[in-house]
Amino acid sequence: MTSFRNEHCLAPIAPLALALLTLAAPLAAQVADSEAPLPRPLTAFQIDAVLVPQGPRIDGILDDEVWASATVVDDFTQQEPNEGFPATERTEVRVLYDGSRLFLGVRAFDSSPNGPIATEMRRDADRLLDEDNFQVIFDTFRDSRSAYMFVVTPLGAQLDQQVFDEGGRDRRASASAVNRDWDGVWAASARRTEDGWTAEIEIPLVTMRFPATEPQSWGINFKRNIRTKNEEVFWAPIPRAFDLTRVSLAGSLDGLHSLDRGLDLRIKPYATGGGRWQRQPTFSENSHTEEVGVDVKYGIVPGVNLDVTYNTDFAQAEVDNEQVNLTRFALFYPEKREFFLENAAQFAVGTTNSLGRIADLFFTRRIGITPSRQTVPILGGARLTGKLGGNNIAIMDIQVEELQDSTGALIEPGQNFFVARYSRDILERSQIGALVINKEASRGGGFNRTFAVDMMLPLTASFTLEGFLAETSSPGISEGDRAGHVRAGWLSPSWRVYAEHTDLGDNFNPEVGFVPRVGITRSKFHFEMNPRPGRWGIRMMEPMWNITEIRDQGGRTVSRQYHHMIGTRFENGAFFNVMYNRYTEVLDDPFFVASGIAIDPGTYRFWDFNVMFNSNPARRISYNLRYAPQTFWDGDRTDWGGGLNVRFTDQLSTSGRFSRSVVDLPAGDFTADIASFQVDYGFSPRLSLRTLSQYNSLTEQLSTSARLRYTYRPGSDIYIVYDEARRDIDIPASPFVEQYRDHQLLVKVTYLLSM
């Protein structure tokens, strides 16, 4: 079957795109009326560490006498909106250490009438980066690649993350290069003042890894977000294409000596208890659970951790977000278990800087979690990660129990997972490495192995070459089991251009990875520019174009996409996006897009047109809207939706999301809805309550989760969690009929003992 769908509908779109591109071109060439000042010399970005016998009290008030001994850092430079110009608001930073802890004192002046914008108290909340905040990053190994980053807001809210490969080299940080789920052990406190706000930060040195040298010299940089002006300022300036994660451009913190990590031993046991109640049309069942386990972290040497886990914590306090899948390929759900999070990027090999997930050769959710998201207990495991000189080491061994059904019958034998990755730093910021993964069944002889070599070569400040070669091994497979990827990219403040090619053999099978599609070659070329009009309230435009073509291993084109987009970023932080895509898809087998609705084999050509708007995210009331009319296979589809965020007070905020896809196909019609409503209440930065309700029309499920988290000391938490799911099995029109109900109450306690 061949389908050519409504190509004439492009007529009104082409003039719009042409007009916008015509407008953008001369704007890109405009020169500002006044030139930016010359950059400061590199010697200006150096701080001498000050050792004190006793650190300050962390209360957010810079009144301890010990702060007077610290050097004041106060020369900040704009990146946005006027790159290279001095910051319009003064920021003072002081750095101290007492041998076992590092302290930062921050005074952020703010002349706006209403003071700094801060409404979120919950730790690691996405909104923290949209509000006033102060950020610090430490490149403890001075390798210009990896770092630890800490963020604090005027309300004392905290956010932290581990950075690898400079965060993916640009502002569009890849998930594998910036680990937002990492939770370091540190403390912060902040206060609003008449002239702005102040903050104090305490970071125990055992929270970060660093080499065994004397004295120490670390890379360091500071960033402040002044949200009332949508202004971003840095101590060591960073070009617009990059963010604070560009640690190769950081300053230095020199003269650290006599650093004391104690025994460098951290023991974190957990205990979980609760009850579960299930009601289905034919039976009801009640059960209870009690689990105990422990994670141990030991610093063999200052740069290398040994982690040991027993009865691994499965992060029952976390909930996956609902997703609708109208594609032929698997959905991606992120890792949330603490044992797997720290130094996770040291195991990463794949298409890490590509848009979308094409191939991740190692994906920890394949360990102890089935494709249907059912958990399988992990008996225990060990992990060695760290850095010795220019050598990066990551080794993991995990044993998973057998999976049995309710009668005790074996569903899947126990599995052992062994992963080893070694990489070597070369040149100034480059790296080469190798990866070995072995998955082996405890009985039956089943196994799966992956072998790979990879490279990351930033050959200049703007040009990067990267790629990998891989092969898998499984019983009965001897050919078609190889894969490769290469990517060359140019990135500067005004241009982003890259080309990449991926080859995934028919039998390439990394069972401990995430590879949605094999048996293909994929080629992509991307071109993007970033003109800045300097008028009409527009800060930057992002016209881009790319083409992606996928062929089978015989060279036949099976998929092609042309992508056209013009994004517009406004001075107040709002964003408007117009996007148009054209697709060609070849189906060799029927594809069920929904229950009972199949797309027949054939060649299809269709398109979509997207209009999206996000309002200023720093306002107490913000919203986003999306509308996307399109053809879809041999039919039509319309997507629309939006979200509303309301921050009532500094403690209470809500957000609602709704999306609808109305699909009209010759084989049948259906509507797919996703709705969610979230309430966050921060009693304090250490005590927060979140409720999340979600509805998925394709699964006919309404779920609700409520989580109370209390961090009673850094690294130690109490969670009280209530989860409920309701599903209507027989009456699709009535999703709230309680044909199926599953609810549970869970209490979880963790305690961090550090020695």
Q: In angstroms, rounded to a whole number, what is the distance separating the alpha carbons of residues 72 and 47?
A: 9
Q: What is the DSSP letter of 70?
A: S
Sign of the CA dihedral running 524, 530, 531, 534: positive
| Contact assessment for residue 571 and residue 537, using Cβ atoms and an 8 Å cutoff | yes
Tokens of 496: 């982003």
Question: For residue 212, what pLDDT is reported?
Answer: 84
Distance (Å, whole) CA 693 – CA 678: 6
pLDDT tens digits for range 416-452: 999 999 999 998 889 999 999 999 998 888 899 999 9
Q: How does residue 339 score in pLDDT terms, banded at 50, 70 and 90?
A: confident
Token pair in block for residue 48: 């001498």
Asked which of 225-229, 254-258, 265-269, 316-320 is least confident by mean pLDDT, the reply is 316-320
pLDDT the model gives residue 594: 85
Low-confidence winner among 144-148, 166-170, 303-307, 353-357 (lowest mean pLDDT): 166-170
Determine the average pLDDT of the residues in 17-46.
45
- pLDDT, residue 19, reads 38
Determine the pLDDT at residue 40: 52
Tokens matching residue 215: 């004295």
What is the pLDDT, as a whole number, of residue 34? 34
Q: Residue 404 has which token pair?
A: 């049995």
The CA-CA-CA angle for residues 169, 171, 172, to 5°, reads 90
Q: Which amino acid is at 595?
A: S
Greater confidence, 706 or 169? 706
* pLDDT score for 322: 53
Q: Stretch 626-636: mean pLDDT, rounded?
A: 96
What's the pLDDT tens digit per position in 680-719? 998 998 999 999 999 988 878 888 999 999 999 988 999 9
What are the residues whose beta carbons fall under 8 Å from the beta carbon of 619, sequence distance 6 or more?
A: none
d(Cα 106, Cα 184) in Å, to the nearest integer?
20
Classify 6 in phi/psi space as left (phi over 0), alpha (psi -120 to 50) or beta.
Answer: left
Mean pLDDT of 626-648: 95
CB under 8 Å to 422, separation ≥6 — which residues? 391, 392, 393, 394, 433, 434
- Residue partners of 301: CB distance under 8 A and separation at least 6: 212, 386, 388
Ranked by mean pLDDT, which of 10-14, 51-55, 751-755 comes out on top? 51-55
Reduced to 3 states, what is the DSSP secondary structure of residue 192?
Answer: strand
- The helix (H) or strand (E) run that includes residue 401 is none
φ, ψ of residue 338 in degrees (nearest 5): -60, -40
Burial 541-578 (b: 16+ CB within 10 A, else e): bbbbbbebbbbeeeeeebbbeebbbbbbbbbbbbbbbb
Q: What integer is the mean pLDDT of 485-504?
A: 93
Residue with the two structure tokens 């802890």: 101
Cα 415 from Cα 447, distance rounded (Å): 9
Confidence of residue 319 (pLDDT cuts 50, 70, 90): low
pLDDT above 90: residue 741: no
Confidence check: pLDDT of 343 > 90: no
Spacing of C-alpha 133 from chain mean position: 19
Q: Please report whether residue 93 resides in a domain.
A: yes
For residue 64, is it within any domain? yes
Across 280-377, where does the E strand assignment appear? Answer: 284-301, 304-310
pLDDT score, position 233: 97
Token digits of residue 491:
């990135």
Confidence check: pLDDT of 614 > 60: yes
739 has pLDDT over 80 = no
Distance set, CA 430 to CA 454, 455, 694 (Å): 11, 8, 44
Q: What is the pLDDT of residue 8?
A: 38
Q: Which one of 11-25, 111-125, 189-203, 310-324 scores highest in mean pLDDT?
A: 189-203
Amino acid 393: pLDDT: 94
Cis peptide before 204 (omega within 30 of 0): no
Does the structure show a pLDDT above 70 at 326? no
Q: For position 494, what pLDDT does the model report?
A: 87
pLDDT at 174: 56
pLDDT at 255 over 70: yes
- 708 with 723: CB under 8 angstroms? no
User: What are residue 85's phi and psi, to 5 degrees?
Assistant: -85, 155
Q: Closest Cα to residue 166, out of 231, 219, 226? A: 219
Q: For 198-219, what is the mean pLDDT?
A: 93
CA distance 122 to 375: 28
Q: What is the pLDDT of residue 619?
A: 86
Neighbours of 26 (CB within 10 A): 10
Could you write out the DSSP letters of every residue in 589-648? S-EEEETTEEEPSEEEEEEEEEEEEE--TTSSEEEEEEEEEEEETTEEEEEEEEEEEEE-
Q: How many structural domains are present in the chain?
A: 1
User: Is residue 69 a part of any domain in this protein?
Assistant: yes
Peptide bond into 81 cis (omega under 30): yes
Residue 361's pLDDT band, with cuts at 50, 70 and 90, is very high
CA 331 distance to own-chain centroid: 16
pLDDT at residue 213, as a whole number = 86
Residue that the structure tokens 């191939």 belong to:
359
The beta-carbon contacts of 327-331 under 8 Å, at least 24 apart in sequence, are 328/591, 329/516, 329/517, 330/371, 330/514, 330/516
- CATH number, domain containing residue 107: 2.60.40.1190
Identify which has the larger pLDDT, 561 or 356.
Answer: 561
Whether the pLDDT of residue 149 is over 50: the answer is: yes
What pLDDT band is residue 245 in, cutting at 50, 70 and 90?
Answer: very high
| Structural contact between residues 75 and 44, judged by C-beta atoms closer than 8 angstroms | yes
Asked whether 338 and 313 are in contact (CB, 8 A), the reply is yes
DSSP string, 213-266: -SSEEEEEEEEEEEGGGTEEEESS---TT--TT-GGG-EEEEEE-S---TT-EE
DSSP 39-51: PPPGGGSEEE--B
Listed residue (678, 686, 746, 752) closest to 317, CA to CA? 746
User: Do residues 627 and 640 touch, judged by C-beta distance below 8 A?
Assistant: yes
pLDDT higher than threshold 80 for residue 404: no
| DSSP string across 434-502 | EEEEEEEESSS--EEEEEEEEEEEE-SSSEEEEEEEEEEE-TT--SS-EEEEEEEEEE-SSEEEEEEEE
Question: Which pLDDT band, with edges at 50, 70 and 90, does 31 fall under?
Answer: very low
CB of 681 within 8 A of CB of 689?
yes
Q: Is 42 a residue whose pLDDT tops 80?
A: no
Most confident of 122-126, 362-366, 664-668: 664-668
The reply to whether 58 falls in a domain is: yes
Helix (H) or strand (E) holding 690: strand 687-696
* DSSP bridge partners of 103: 96, 202
Return the number of other C-beta atoms located less than 10 Å from residue 272's C-beta: 21
Which range among 125-129, 549-553, 571-575, 601-605 shows the weakest confidence by mean pLDDT? 125-129
Report d(CA 494, CA 242) in Å as an integer: 11
Give residue 412's pLDDT band: very low, low, confident or very high (50, 70, 90). confident
State pTM to two decimals: 0.84
Q: CB-based contacts of 555: which residues, under 8 Å, 6+ apart? A: none
Structure tokens, 271: 């205990």
Residue 541 located in a structural domain:
no
Look at residue 733 and tell me whether its pLDDT is greater than 80.
no
Q: Is the pLDDT of residue 742 over 60?
A: yes
Q: Which two tokens stand for residue 581?
A: 């895509």
Asked whether residue 534 is domain-assigned, the answer is no
Nearest in space to 701 (alpha carbons), one of 722, 732, 678: 732
pLDDT of residue 493: 84
Instruction: Specify the pLDDT at position 23.
Output: 38
Contact 682, 664 (CB under 8 A): no
What pLDDT, on a 0 to 100 scale, did the predictor assign at position 286?
A: 84
State the Cα–Cα distance between residues 712 and 749, nearest whole angstrom. 10
Q: State how far the Cα of 482 lies from the Cα of 665, in Å rounded to an integer.
A: 38
pLDDT at 9: 39
Amino acid residing at 557: T
Where does the pLDDT of residue 288 fall: very low under 50, low under 70, confident under 90, or very high at 90 and above? Answer: confident
Confidence of residue 12 (pLDDT cuts 50, 70, 90): very low
Helix (H) / strand (E) containing 27: helix 13-29
Which residue reads 């041998």 in tokens?
Answer: 99
- Neighbour count for residue 275 (Cβ, 10 Å): 12
Contact 426, 454 (CB under 8 A): no
Q: Is residue 400 part of a domain?
A: no
What was the pLDDT predicted at 320? 54
Residue 402 DSSP class: -
What is the model's pLDDT at position 325? 56
Mean confidence (pLDDT) of the chain: 86
| Assigned domain for 222 exists | yes
Per the structure, the complete domain to which residue 229 belongs is given by 41-256
How confident is residue 561, by pLDDT bands cut at 50, 70 and 90? Answer: very high
The amino acid at 120:
E
